[in-house]
């Protein structure tokens, strides 16, 4: 079970997310103002799917009328999809770490390329 609370640092600011929901195969953590939400879930069928998702909500000026604030949101998530047998936990871990290291590398260049729509 994930510890309560969880902390997600955005920029240099740590955001504390307290557990607000829990199920047999899921958990939800939110900041006090609900601007950030972290969802953890697991699904077991013919394949096993494990996911972590961070959602962000903000009110910002409308692009058509700056006198109005409208809600905007974004999400980033990782899904690990594996067969129920055949790939060891050690291999799942090593491949996941390799993926995370590729995405962030030392300068976050690959993340910047992704966010800029490069392929």
What pLDDT, on the 0 to 100 scale, is given for residue 101?
93
Could you give the CA distance from residue 35 to residue 41 in angstroms, rounded to a whole number?
Answer: 20
Whether residue 25 sits in one domain with residue 66: yes
Whether residue 11 sits in one domain with residue 47: yes
Q: What is the CATH number of the domain that holds 77?
A: 3.30.380.10
Residue 1 domain-assigned? no
How many structural domains is the chain composed of? 2
What pLDDT, on the 0 to 100 scale, is given for residue 106?
80
Q: Which residues of 71-82 are buried (b: 16+ CB within 10 A; e: fewer)?
A: eeeeeeeeeeeb
What pLDDT, on the 0 to 100 scale, is given for residue 89?
96
What pLDDT, on the 0 to 100 scale, is given for residue 80?
97
Q: Which domain holds residue 27?
A: 6-85
Whether residue 19 sits in one domain with residue 71: yes
**pTM for the whole thing?**
0.89
Do 62 and 70 contact (CB within 8 A), yes or no? Answer: yes
Residue 22 domain-assigned? yes
Whether residue 116 sits in one domain with residue 60: no
Q: What is the DSSP letter of 84?
A: S
Whether residue 72 sits in one domain with residue 98: no
Whether residue 112 sits in one domain with residue 77: no
Q: Give me the tens of pLDDT residue by residue for the chain, a chain 119 residues long.
A: 899 999 999 999 999 999 999 999 999 999 999 999 999 999 999 999 999 999 999 999 999 999 999 999 999 999 999 999 999 999 999 999 999 999 988 889 999 999 999 99
Whether residue 92 sits in one domain with residue 79: no
């Amino acid at each position: 079970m994930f510890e309560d609370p969880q902390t997600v640092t955005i920029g240099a600011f740590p955001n504390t997310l307290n557990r607000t929901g829990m199920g047999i195969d899921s958990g939800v953590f939110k900041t006090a103002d609900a601007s950030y939400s972290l969802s953890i879930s697991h699904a077991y069928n013919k394949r096993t799917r494990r996911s972590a998702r961070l959602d962000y909500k903000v009110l910002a000026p409308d692009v058509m009328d700056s006198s109005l604030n409208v809600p905007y949101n974004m999400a980033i998530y990782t899904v690990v999809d594996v067969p129920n047998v055949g790939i060891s936990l050690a291999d799942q871990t090593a491949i996941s770490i390799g993926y995370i290291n590729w995405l962030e590398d030392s300068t976050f260049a690959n993340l910047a390329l992704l966010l800029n729509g490069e392929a």
